[in-house]
Structure 1
Amino acid sequence: MHIFPDIATFVIFAGLQHKYMGIVRKQSLYSSISIYIGFAFGAFNLLVLMPHIFNKEQIGLTRVLIDIATLLATVASLGAVPVINKFFPFYQDYLTPKKNDLPKITIFVSALGYLLFLLFAWIFHDLIVRKFSGNSKLLIDYFYALYPLTLCILVYNMLEGFAWGLHKTIASNFWKEAGLRIVSTVILVIFGVAQLNFKLYIDLFSVPYAMAAVALLIVIWKTGELKIVGGFSSVTRRLGKRMVTFSSYVFTSHVFTLLRKMNDVLIITSVKGLAQAGLFSYATFVVNFMEVPQRSMYAITTPILATAWKNKDMAKIAELYTKSSITLSIVGMGIFGAIWLSTNNLVLFLGHGWEDISSVVFVLGIARMVDLVTGVNNQIIQTSNYWRFDFVCSILLVVLSITLNYFFVQRWDITGAAYADLITVTIFNLIRYCFIWFRFGVQPFSWKTLWVLLIGAAAILIVRQLPFMLNIYVDTIIRSGLYVLIFGASVIMANLSEDVNIMWNNLKAKVIRK
C-alpha cells in the first residue's frame, strides 16, 4: 500500500489550472506524506506497543478519552473554528495584520467556551459517574485527564483554522497526524522499557497534543500575519451579525456531526464496556487509513472553496466537486481492497479475542467508500450561503445514529455499531448529494465512478482466491501488492481519470530519463 501517498497527493488536483495550482500540489504532497507517516506510527503504537504494555480495557480508555475530548473541544470552541474557515479570507483581503481582530475574537470566544465546559463538567459529574460506573469504571477513575486533553485539542483546532487560511497545511497536518503519534511512540517506548504505571501514562496523555499546539503556534506566529489587536475592525462591524448567525448554525452542525461519528464508541463503552470499545476503535483506526487523502483534500479545499464562493466562481466549485469524487473513489477503493484482503492476517497478528474486528472493518470500509465517492460535498455546503441546511441535516441524522447504535449494539454488539454507521453515512451523503444537485445543478458522478467500484470488487474477488502464503507478513505483502497492481493497471488502461493517467505518464517519463 506504500504507493498510495503518491497517487493521493498528485491526482487530487493534478488537472486544476488555477492560481492555486502550485500551492495545492506542494501542500497536498507533503500533507499526505505527513498523514501516512502518522498512520504508520499510529499503527505501530496501536498494534505493536500498546497490546504489549496495556490490557484491552486500558487501551479502550485511551481511545475513548480522545473521542470524548475531541467532541468536548468542538463544543468548547462555540463555533470559532468554522468562523475562521469561512471569514478569514475577508479579513485577509480587507485588513492588514495589525488591524486583523479575528484572532482576538476567536480566542476570547474559545476561552469562554472552555470555562463553560469546566462548569458543566462539575455540575453533571454525578450523572456521568452513574452512567459509566457499571461497565466502564476506569473512565470514571481517570475522568480528570479530559480537562487538559480537551484544552490542548481546542487550542490546536483554533491554530489549525488559521494555518489553513494562511496555506500552512503542511505544518498543521504534520503535527496533527505525524508529530502527535511520533511523540506518543517515544512515550510508549519509555513506559514499556521502564515498566512505568498506567496512571502516570494517563497523567502525561495530553503532552503530545500540547507539544503540537506550541509547535504550530510558532509556525503561524513567524508568518507575521496574526496579531492580537485592540478594538473592533470595520470587517467585524460589517460582518459581525452574519458571523454570529453562521457560527451558531455551523458550530451546532459540527457538534452533531462529531456526535454522530463518536456516539457509537460512547454507547459501546456504556453498554458493553471499555474492552469492546477498544476493539471497535482498533477497527475504526484501520479503516480510517482510507480517509487520509480525504483529510488532506479537506484541509486544502476549504479555503479555496471559501474564496470561490466569495468570488461566485461556480465553475471552480463544480470542478473541485467532480475531481474530488473520482479521485477519492479510485484511491479509496485501492486502499479498501488492500485493507480488506489483509484482515484475516490482522486477526492472526492480534490473537484470540479479536475475531470480530474482521466483519467490523468490512462494514466500516463500505461506509467510508460511500463518504469518499461523494467528494467534498460537506465543504461545498458549509462554505456556501446554505450552511443552515447542513445544520438541519446534522440534527436529524445524529438522532438517527444514536437510535440505531443504541438498539444495534444491544442486539449485535460492535458489528451492530458498524451497520448503524453505514446506514447513517449513506443517508447523510445521499441528502447532501441531492441538495447540491437540485440547488446548484452540479453532481460529481459518471459511469467512470461505477467502473472504479466494479473493477475494485473484481480485483478483490480474484486475489481472495489465493491460498495462504508462508506467514502473515509475506501473505499480506503479496495480497495487497497484487491487488494494487491489478486495480491500478485496470484504472490506467481504462482511462478512468485523466489526472491518474497524467501522474502515471509523468512517473514513466522520469523513470525513462533515469
Structure 2
Amino acid sequence: MGIIIRQGLKNSVVTYAGTAVGVLNVLVIYNKFLTQEQFGLYASAMVSFTTVFASFAQIGLPHITTRYFNRFCNDDTRHNGFLGFLLVTPLIGLFIFTILYLSLQGVFNSIYESKSPLLIQYYYYMLPLTFCIAYISVLESYSKVHLRIVVPAIIRELGLRLSNGALVIAFGLGYISFEQLIAITIFTYVLGIVALLLYIKLLGKLYLTIDWQIYKNPLFKEMYQYGLWVLLAGASFTLIQHVEKIMLPAYDGGLNTTAIFDIASRIALVIAIPRNAIASISLPLLAESWQKNDIAHIEELYKKSSLILFIVGAFLFLGIWCNVDEIFELLPKADIYSQGRWVVFFFGLSKVIDMATGLNSEILINSKYYRYDLAFYVLLAILIVITNLILIPIYSFNGAALAALTSVVVYNGTKFLFIKIKLDLQPFTWDTVKVLALFLGTYFLVLLVPRIGTGFVGNVTTIVIRSVIICVIFGGGVLYFNISDDATKTVKSILRKLRIMKK
C-alpha cells in the first residue's frame, strides 16, 4: 500500500488544485465573461457530451490496458508493441463513432434545436474534441500501468483548466471571438496529447513499434471480448455521471436549476477525489494479484482501501456539510446557489457511502466475474434514470441529488453482497465501526458551535473554528486509536517532512 498511498496523496493534491482552478473558472471567470447560453455550452454541454461519446469510441482500451499490460510488459521487447496497439486501435472505434455521429445529426437536432440552438451550431466541433478526450484517456491508462498518475493529472486537472480560464478571459476582453474560443480550446486538448506523449518519452516508455502480431495473438480474442464488456460498463458509468445535466434542462427551471445542481454537486464531488486517486493506482496492482491468484493481497487491498477511503470521505464530508451555509455565503450569487445545500448533503453522502465500500468495482472488473460488473452498471443506470424521472418533477435539483443517493446505496449494496457470496471478500472490519462512531460523534459536537459573526470575516472565522474542531476530534481520534496504520504512517511522514522543511 506504500506506493499507493504516496501516489494517491500526490494525485489528490494535484486534483484538489485542479478542482480549485475549476471552481474559480466556473464561479468567477465563466460567470463574468460568458452569457448564460455560452456558459451552458462551454462549461457543461460540450464537455459532458464529448466525454460520453469518447467513452464509447475508445472501445474499452483504458481497461484493457490495466488488465492485460502485464502480459506484454517487457522493456527488452519494447512491451511487444503494446503502445502502438493502443495508438492504432482507437482509430477503429472513432471511425465507427464518426459515421454514426454524422448519420444521426438529424435526430440530435430534433431533440436539442428548440431548447439549445447554440449546441446545434457547434455540433461539428464536438467531433475533434471527442477524438482528443479518447486519446488522453488511453495515454493516461498507459501511464497508470507504470504507476505514474501525477503528471497526467497535472496535465488534465491543471493544464487544461488553466488554459480554459485564460482563453475565456481573452474572449471576455475581446481578443478572440466565441467561435475562436471553442476552436482554440480544442487545440489545447491536442497539446495535452502531445504533453502526455512527451512525458511517456521522458519515462523511457515511448515504444512506438507497431507489432501487428498482437492482433493474431490468441490472447487478442479475450482482450477484445473483455473490451466490449467494459466498454458498455465504462460508457454506462460515464453516462451516469452526466445524466442529471441531461435530464434537468427538460424540467421546470431548465438551465437555471441545472446551474444550481452543477455548482452544489461540484462542492460535494470534492469528497470523491481521493477515491479516484487510490483506485487509479490500485488497478494495476489488483490486476497483477488476480493473475497470481493472490487472494490474500486482494483482500488486504480491499479492506485497507475501504478503511482509508471511509476515513478521508467522512472527514471531508464533515468539513463541507458542517460549514455548508458559510461556504455558500462566500460564493458569488449566494442567494441563488445556496438553494443547492441539500444537493451537497445527498450527493456528498452518496460519495461517502461509495468510498466506504472500497474498491468493489475495481476488484470485480479484474476478476473472472468482470462481466457482472456491466450488469451492475446497467442496474445503476436504470435506477438513476428511474429515480430521476420520479424525483426531479417533485423536488427539482434536490430530487436529482436524492436520486443519486438512493441509486448508489442500492448499487453498492448489491455489489457488496455479490462479492461476498462469489469471492468471499468483504471490506469492513471493526475499525469501520470505530470510524462511523467518530464521524457521528464529531458531527453532533460541531453542531454545538455557533456561527461567529456575519459577512466574509465571520464566515471564514466560523469555517476555520469548526474545521479545527473536526481535525482535532475526528482526525485526532483516528490517530490516537491507531484505526488505520496507513493513515498514521502517512501523517507521520508528512510531519517529518514538515520538520525538515522548517530546518
Q: Is the structural similarity TM-score above 0.5?
A: yes
Query: Any gaps of 5 or more consecutive residues in structure 1?
Result: 1-12, 14-20
* Aligned equivalent of 1:188, options 168, 181, 184: 168
Residues 450-503 of structure 1: per-residue CA shift (max 9 Å, x gap): 332332233233323312434333333333333233221222223322222334
Matched, 1:69 2:53: no
Give 1:510 deviation, angstroms: 6.3
Aligned partners of 2:262 and 2:104: how far apart in 1? 26
List aligned pairs for 1:53-452, cutoff 5 A: 53-61=33-41, 62-93=43-74, 96-98=76-78, 100-194=80-174, 197-233=177-213, 237-272=217-252, 273-348=254-329, 349-351=331-333, 352-452=335-435
Tell me which residue corresponds to 1:453: 436
- 1:482 matched to 2:466: no
Q: Is the 8 A contact 2:143 2:200 kept in 1?
A: yes
CA distance in 1, matches of 2:216, 2:428: 39
* Cα distance, 1:342 vs structure 2: 2.8
Partner Cα distance (2:146, 2:255) in 1? 40
- Please state whether the residue corresponding to 2:488 is helix, strand or coil: helix
Structure 1: how far apart are the matches of 2:494 and 2:237?
Answer: 39
Q: Does 1:501 pair with 2:480?
A: no
In structure 1, C-alpha distance between the alignment counterparts of 2:312 and 2:274, rounded to whole Å: 8
C-alpha distance in 1, partners of 2:491/2:370? 38
* Bigger mean CA deviation after superposition, 324-333 or 390-399: 390-399
Q: Deviations over 1:86-135 (max 9, x none)?
A: 11111005x74446233333333311211222222222112212212343
1:173 offset after TM fit, Å?
1.8
With over 3 angstroms needed to count, the CA separation of the structure-2 counterparts of 1:196 and 1:104, relative to structure 1, is closer
Deviates more, 1:463-472 or 1:382-391: 463-472
The answer as to whether partners of 2:391 and 2:399 remain within 8 angstroms in 1 is yes
Distance apart, 1:420 and its partner CA: 1.1
CA distance in structure 2 between the aligned counterparts of 1:358 and 1:450, rounded to whole angstroms: 28
1:473 maps to 2:460: yes
* Corresponding letter in the other structure for 2:384: S
Q: Deviations over 1:239-281 (max 9, x none)?
A: 0111121111111111112222221211113335333223222
Alpha carbons 1:97, 1:224 under 8 Å: kept: no
Any conservation in 2 of the 1:82–1:250 contact (CA below 8 Å)? yes
Tell me the CA shift for residue 234 of structure 1: 6.6
Q: Tell me, in whole angstroms, the C-alpha distance in 2 between the residues paired with 1:319 and 1:373.
A: 15
User: Is the CA contact 2:264–2:337 (under 8 Å) kept in the aligned structure 1?
Assistant: no
Segments of 5+ residues of structure 2 without an aligned counterpart are none
Query: Do 1:31 and 1:170's aligned partners in 2 also have CA atoms closer than 8 Å?
Result: yes
Question: C-alpha distance in 1, partners of 2:299/2:86?
Answer: 31
Give the conservation status (yes or no) of the 8 Å contact 2:84–2:211. no
1:174-231 deviation digits (Å, cap 9, x = unpaired): 2122222222232233334447554433333324432222111111133343433344
Partner Cα distance (2:301, 2:79) in 1: 33
Distance in structure 1 (CA, Å) of the matches to 2:116 and 2:181: 18
Describe the shift of the 1:162–1:321 C-alpha distance in structure 2 as closer, same or farther (beyond 3 A).
Answer: same
* C-alpha contact 1:452 1:491 (8 A) present in aligned 2: yes
Q: State the alpha-carbon separation in 2 of the partners of residues 483 and 192 from structure 1.
A: 41
Q: Which amino acid aligns with 2:127?
A: Y
1:25, CA displacement in angstroms? 4.8
| Separation in structure 2 between the aligned mates of residue 422 and residue 450 of structure 1, nearest angstrom | 21
Q: Indicate conservation of the 8 Å contact 1:69/1:153, yes or no.
A: yes
Counterpart position of 1:4: none
Q: How many residues align?
A: 493
Contact 1:59–1:275 (CA<8 Å) still a contact in 2?
Answer: no
Distance 1:150 1:200, change over 3 A: same
Contact kept? 2:302, 2:427, Cα under 8 Å:
yes
For residues 248 and 143 of structure 2, the distance between their equivalents in structure 1, rounded to whole angstroms, comes to 35
1:71 Cα shift?
0.9
Corresponding letter in the other structure for 2:348: G
CA distance in 2, matches of 1:457, 1:140: 49
Distance 1:407 1:446 in 2: 36
The 3 A distance-change label for structure 1 pair 186 and 477 is farther
Q: Relative to structure 1, is the Cα distance of residues 361 and 313 closer, same or farther in structure 2, using a 3 angstrom cutoff?
A: same
In structure 1, how many angstroms separate the alpha carbons of the residues matched to 2:273 and 2:477? Answer: 23
1:99 touches 1:233 (CA, 8 Å); kept in 2? no
Contact 1:135 1:271 in 2 (8 A): no
Q: SS at 2:125's partner residue?
A: helix
> Do the aligned partners of 1:30 and 1:170 also contact (CA within 8 Å) in 2?
yes
Is the Cα contact below 8 Å between 1:59 and 1:278 reproduced in 2? no
TM-score (norm 2): 0.91
Per-residue CA deviation, residues 352-387 of structure 1 (Å, 9 max, x unaligned), is 322322111111001101110011111111112210
Change (3 A) 1:65 1:454: farther
- Residue 89 of structure 2 aligns to a residue whose secondary structure is helix
- Conservation of the 8 A alpha-carbon contact between 1:436 and 1:442: yes
Structure 1 residues 476 and 184: CA distance shift in structure 2, 3 A:
farther
Q: Give the direction of change, closer, same or farther, for the CA distance of 1:195–1:287 in structure 2 (3 Å limit).
A: farther
**Cα deviation, residue 295, structure 1:** 1.2
User: Partner amino acid for 1:469?
Assistant: G
Question: Does structure 2 conserve the Cα–Cα contact (< 8 Å) formed by 1:169 and 1:300?
Answer: yes
CA pair 512-299 structure 1, distance change in 2 beyond 3 A: closer
Q: Secondary structure at the match of 1:385?
A: coil
CA distance in 2, matches of 1:390, 1:26: 28
Summarize the Cα distance change of 1:207–1:269 in structure 2 as closer, same or farther, 3 Å threshold: farther
Matched residue of 1:101: which SS? helix
Whole-Å separation in 2 of the counterparts to 1:453 and 1:207: 47
- Report the equivalent of 1:3: none
**Whole-Å separation in 2 of the counterparts to 1:75 and 1:510:** 44
Partner Cα separation in structure 2 for residue 70 and residue 353 of structure 1: 28
- TM-score, length basis structure 1: 0.89
How big is the shift at 1:316?
1.1
